[in-house]
Chains A and B, each alone.
Chain A
Amino acid sequence: MNDPCAHCEEMMQPYLDHVLTDEEMDRAEAHLAECVDCRRRYKFEESLRIYVRKAVTEEMPAELRQKLAALRIPLE
């Protein structure tokens, strides 16, 4: 591991997806604790995900809800 920041970058997506092993998690966190640049970038990535989700979320139109309900098969 010559460049801890490169390793940290590799760990970022799995870290935010909560799929790292405990050991990998400890390593990523140890680096984050001492590297302000990586910490900022992780924070940015996390904010970006939340922001994107908010920006693209569209509620279902009420008419569509009614159309779907009308597709039910009537009881005989």
Chain B
Amino acid sequence: MAHAGTAGTVERMDAEPEEAQRLATEARDRVRFEEDALALSDQVYRVARHLASSREDAEELMQETYARAFRSWRSFTPGTNMRAWLLRILTNLNIDRGRRQQRAPQMTPLEANDYFLYDKLAENGDGVSDEEQVVERLSQDDIVSALSAVPHDFRDVLVLVDLGDFSYADAAQILDIPVGTVMSRLHRGRRILKRELAESALEEAT
């Protein structure tokens, strides 16, 4: 609609320095935004790696997230939590793309109590009950595969809170679910993780 009519000429000349100023400010804000977002990429990746189903998925998801973030940087409110903002984009993409390998909902009951894993490990430990040594009976592979066996709805919360150090409220906002749901999924997710760990520990013991 920019017709170069004579009527607008005078106004436009007045407006130009202002417009140039505005553009310069915007460019500066955008570059700063991009730098800040990139500086957080390590932290975002550590969480993304376990929200995604595989390393390859995580890498793709990161790229889609950053491409979207760079396009819609204006919707970020400066001074708010950028890491949470990026992870909100990332979890939405993860859900939207149907990339998640949905599993049937876990119908198995929870273990009788939260002390189950410790009791199992301590039981198999020839009387060694030092808590830190008991933990070390689990191998890194066991832990990685136990975590990936936790169904997505529970794992999302577990990963955001326990690996990403997000508060219940931040996790609720990122996943767009109530705080109460965060708490119950977290509780359930931790138990499922421990059950998976107990199973692999028992397999190794036999």
Contact = CB atoms under 8 A, between A and B. Distances in A.
* Interface SS of chain A: helix
A46 B34 CA distance: 37
A15 to B, nearest CB: 11
Interface residues of B, number: 44
A68 interface: yes
Contacts, number: 96
Query: Which among B70, B71, B114 has the highest number of chain A CB atoms within 10 Å?
Result: B114
Interface residues of A, number: 33
A7 to B, nearest CB: 12
Interface stretch (B43-51, B76-84, B92-100): B43-51
Interface string B164-205: 000010000000000000000011001001100000000000
Nearest to B163: A53
B66 interface: yes
A61 B46 CA distance: 11
Interface of A: 9, 12-13, 17, 19, 40-41, 43-49, 51-53, 55-61, 64-65, 67-69, 71-73, 75
